[in-house]
Copies of this chain bind each other. A is one copy, B any other.
């Protein structure tokens, strides 16, 4: 594991699903910093990566807090001193509120934006200068990869909190792709349109009766790695992903 040791990667928003799979995947090539509010969300993944011969650190971070993000990046740069950032993945779910609009508190509505709007702003401001520095000598174009959802494209009933955050995230991602793409940084947005197959969703009655009716998080990790390794003459800005049995 981890040959290209002049570079490292960051995954914000790790837990039992996409974040863990992505971290394990990128750790095969790069040391990886894992950000999550709750250390329980990254501790076992750090162990798993180390056990496989990789390098990883976990940092408790509240991505929607300017000072918390600042501290996290100070720690990352101390830890990975002398290395450059090859890839940053923003996979923050945030608090998911699904309820009738008139029953929603202002705080609940804003939760979507806190995680996916403001949080991404802070993360992108911290990572883009580092990614720009890597343009001249990274093997693959330095990449900022963003996790979107069905709600990135469609505001469904009772989903105004999550959808407003995911729409804001997509808007910002497009804006960054148009500003930083020509500078050699790859900004990609993945629309994860379906339930991810993780312990917590095992019993969810989604696409029942088929073995593979939920999205494999390892397959998502493969797609993020594929996006990262695209040459800059061929950048994908957006792709969608769903199980074969999903209605869409």
Contact = CB atoms under 8 A, between A and B. Distances in A.
Contacts of A214: 233
B182 A245 contact: yes
Contacts of A166: 171
B238 A117 contact: no
Contacts of A240: 236-239
Interface stretch (A37-45, A85-93, A224-232): A224-232
Interface in A190-248: 197, 212-216, 219-220, 222-223, 226, 230-246, 248
A110, A172, A173, A248 — most chain B CB neighbours (10 Å): A172
A95 interface: no
A120 to B, nearest CB: 9
A121 to B, nearest CB: 5
Interface in A146-195: 151, 154-160, 163-182, 184, 186
A248 B178 contact: yes
A136 interface: no
B125 A101 contact: yes
Contacts of A167: 164, 167-168, 170-171
Contact of A121 (B106, B219, B238): B106
B128 A155 contact: no
B178 A157 contact: yes
A141 interface: yes
Contact of A234 (B179, B184, B216, B237): B216
A84 interface: no
Interface of A: 66, 100-102, 104, 106, 109-110, 113, 117-118, 121-122, 124-125, 128-129, 141, 151, 154-160, 163-182, 184, 186, 197, 212-216, 219-220, 222-223, 226, 230-246, 248
A-B pairs, top 7 by smallest CB distance, nearest first, are A155-B174, A219-B234, A239-B239, A155-B175, A167-B171, A167-B167, A212-B233
Given A102-B129, A167-B168, 14 more contacts: A100-B179, A109-B118, A113-B117, A156-B175, A156-B178, A164-B167, A167-B171, A216-B231, A219-B231, A223-B234, A235-B241, A236-B240, A238-B239, A239-B240
